[in-house]
A and B are shown apart, each in its own frame.
Chain A
Amino acid sequence: MQWTTLFKKELLENWRNKKWIWFPLVMILIAIMDPLTTYYMPLIIDAVGGMPEGTVFELPEFTPTDVIMMSLGQYSIIGVIVIALISMGTIAGERKSGVSELILVKPVSYKNYILSKWASLNVLVWFAACLGLFASWYYVNILFGELSFLALLQIIFFYGLWLTFVLSLSIFYNALLKSPGLILFATIATIVTMSIVTQIFSHVLSWSPNKLSSHIIEMLQTDQIGSALWGAAVITVALSIGLIISAIYIFRKKEMAA
């Protein structure tokens, strides 16, 4: 089947350019940094020194939920930037180097071309996010107290949807724009704008994708999946699908014209 072939080609390419190695490592690093430094903060302050004798620090007590949310907080900033970086050239770069012409001159449908790219990056992002959040969950359990495995799975599932949305946005801009730098900028600018708008109209937009993290906190605190979380999840999936369909449509139109 054509789709499978293209999908395998994308996976192989991401393996060859080492994304499968460095991206999961970076995601693990981002996720474990906060739990570790938070727990050892007194030690680190001691080791770095420079504090006058007798200084007493009142460090707040952190619950497991607080700490795993710190990892998600890092993902929402650095993670999103790295995802935008790994996906910024996936179509635009091939257009520039002429590879996409080599592929599309054969009877390859535009739909399969874009879907294979989207799917292969999704597999990579979900894999890396699973590893990273699992590592963070592991440290949280050792250092801060228990957080159930079910909770971890729920976090991965709902937060993964947000990462898929970021990826879909980047693929959409890949179809629309030609320069990888511009795609990176547009993706991040869109995410930032969305988060500002969500904050301003937060009472109306409780189902905005940006609200996924705050609904996840609620889920961890109340131990049940609220309707707002499901709403935000459904909207996120719908927006991702919409973005990909428009990406295919735009790409087809542009390539036909070129």
Chain B
Amino acid sequence: MPDIISSDLLLILLPIMVIQLILMIVALVDWVKAEETNGPKWVWLVIILLLNIIGPVIYFIFGRRQK
């Protein structure tokens, strides 16, 4: 029984996890390419990696520096 539950739960979370993964990868690629960010660069890496979903989004909104 516990196995069924966990595989079902996995199925629920799958779309959310995929979206989260894409967000994180896009944010990371952008972070690597960026020469400068608003504030120290390494802080943004921590934010992108550690804060699920919200991390990449706040990086895109606040971290990128307009040229």
Contacts and interface: CB of A to CB of B under 8 A. Distances in A.
Interface string B26-55: 110010000000000000000000000100
Interface string A135-147: 1000000000000
B19 A28 contact: yes
Contact of A17 (B8, B57, B64): B64
B19 to A, nearest CB: 5
B15 A32 contact: yes
A129 B27 CA distance: 21
A82 B56 CA distance: 13
Interface in A47-88: 47, 82, 85-86
A36 B16 contact: yes
A93 B16 contact: no
Contacts of B16: 29, 32-33, 36
Contacts of A86: 61
Interface of B: 5-6, 8-9, 12, 15-16, 19-20, 22-23, 26-27, 30, 53, 56-57, 60-61, 64, 66
B65 to A, nearest CB: 10
Contact of A21 (B26, B53, B66): B26
Q: Interface residues of A: mostly helix, strand, loop or mixed?
A: helix
A99 B64 CA distance: 16
A192 interface: no
A154 B25 CA distance: 34
A15 interface: no
Of B12, B26, B53, B64, the most chain A CB neighbours within 10 A belong to: B12
A112 B64 CA distance: 27
Interface in A1-40: 17-19, 21-22, 25-26, 28-29, 32-33, 36-37, 40
A17 B61 CA distance: 9
11 contacts: A18-B30, A25-B22, A26-B57, A29-B16, A29-B53, A33-B16, A43-B9, A47-B9, A85-B61, A97-B66, A99-B66
Contacts of B66: 17, 89, 93, 97, 99
Nearest to B13: A36
